[in-house]
Amino acid sequence: MNLNKYLDVNPEVAQAIREGRPVVALESTIISHGMPYPQNVETALNVERIIRENGAVPATIAIIGGRLKAGLTAEQIEYFGKKGRAIAKASRRDLAVLCARGEDGATTVTTTMIIAHMAGINIFATGGIGGVHRGAETTMDISADLEELGHTPVMVICAGAKSILDLGLTLEYLETKGVPVIGYGTEELPAFYTRQSGFKVDYRMDSPEELASAFKAQNDMALGGGMLVTNPIPEEYAMPLDTINAAIDQAIAECNAQGIHGKETTPFLLARVAELTGGDSLASNIQLVYNNAKLAAQTADAYCKL
């Protein structure tokens, strides 16, 4: 496969990979669709800074002008932030068409995993993963993130699944796909804005070294597939479960009433929940991403030492 035909690896990222130094992948949908400008650019640059402070090289991933990019410049991040939702949200089904047409694409968890793996990056920090949507037994609305975790060998460090989803069914789907779900310092699945969900993870681990060792063993055995690490939002930024659930229930009702579906669902729900919580959920979102970036950098560093 001639990856150079489609893939551009940032020189700093390429050098770190060649030298066996830690690199952490980051998605770009959070920049274009996750929050408004200029907060999105500020957050993205802060995430990169946190990764550097913890001993790793950041590689924000995107599609620009039909090129798969592993590692963006500050100018490219600014471009994404300003263009915002005018950029297509790219899942696995969109990659080939966007490249063929020379268009831009904001990478989701799925496409960030794909491009990171192409570039040789195996640790990825994000906010929360997609999953099985509420009512999926009727709509069949299941995020491609779960399928990707089933076969692309990248560790995804997140704050759990977004609480707008059906968390029980999301865990069932991951089990079917053979994806280990690990709680960092917890036995309970965190639910993005909150630290509790009432659902158990598969394993609890308490250090970056333990996470790295488990992922190294999985890769050494060539089992395929990813590993999902769920890292609870820091206590001081967590939102009360009742508050967030009430906002989510209202947002879902409005979403259904307006006939919104497919890839527009999650951006609508997250934006509406932010409005309903007076912006508290956006502040929480930013802090949990910072927290995940720190753990990802520490885990990538531990992995490189094995």
Q: 78 catalytic, yes or no?
A: no
Q: What is the mean pLDDT of residues 26-35?
A: 93
> For residue 277, is pLDDT > 60?
yes
pLDDT tens track for 171-230: 999 999 999 999 999 999 999 889 988 899 999 999 999 999 999 999 999 999 999 999
pLDDT at 2: 56
Q: What is the mean pLDDT of residues 238-246?
A: 84
| Catalytic option among 89, 162, 263, 294 | 162
Query: Which of 180-184, 194-198, 256-260, 275-279: highest mean pLDDT?
Result: 180-184
pLDDT at 235: 94
Q: Quick check: pTM over 0.95?
A: no
Sorted by sequence, the CB contacts under 8 Å of residue 109 that are 6+ apart come out as 27, 124, 126, 129, 130, 143, 145, 148, 156, 158
- Single out the residue of 100, 111, 96, 24 nearest to residue 299, CA to CA: 24
Question: Would you place residue 1 in the very low, low, confident or very high pLDDT band (cuts 50, 70, 90)?
Answer: low
Q: How far is CA 169 from CA 7, 140, 179, in A?
A: 35, 12, 14
Q: What is the mean pLDDT of residues 20-31?
A: 97
pLDDT tens track for 104-157: 999 999 999 999 999 999 999 999 999 998 777 777 888 899 999 999 999 999
Q: 162 catalytic, yes or no?
A: yes
What are the chain's domains? 1-121 (3.40.1790.10), 126-306 (3.40.1790.10)
Using an 8 Å Cβ cutoff, are 110 and 148 in contact? yes
| Catalytic option among 27, 48, 78, 148 | 27
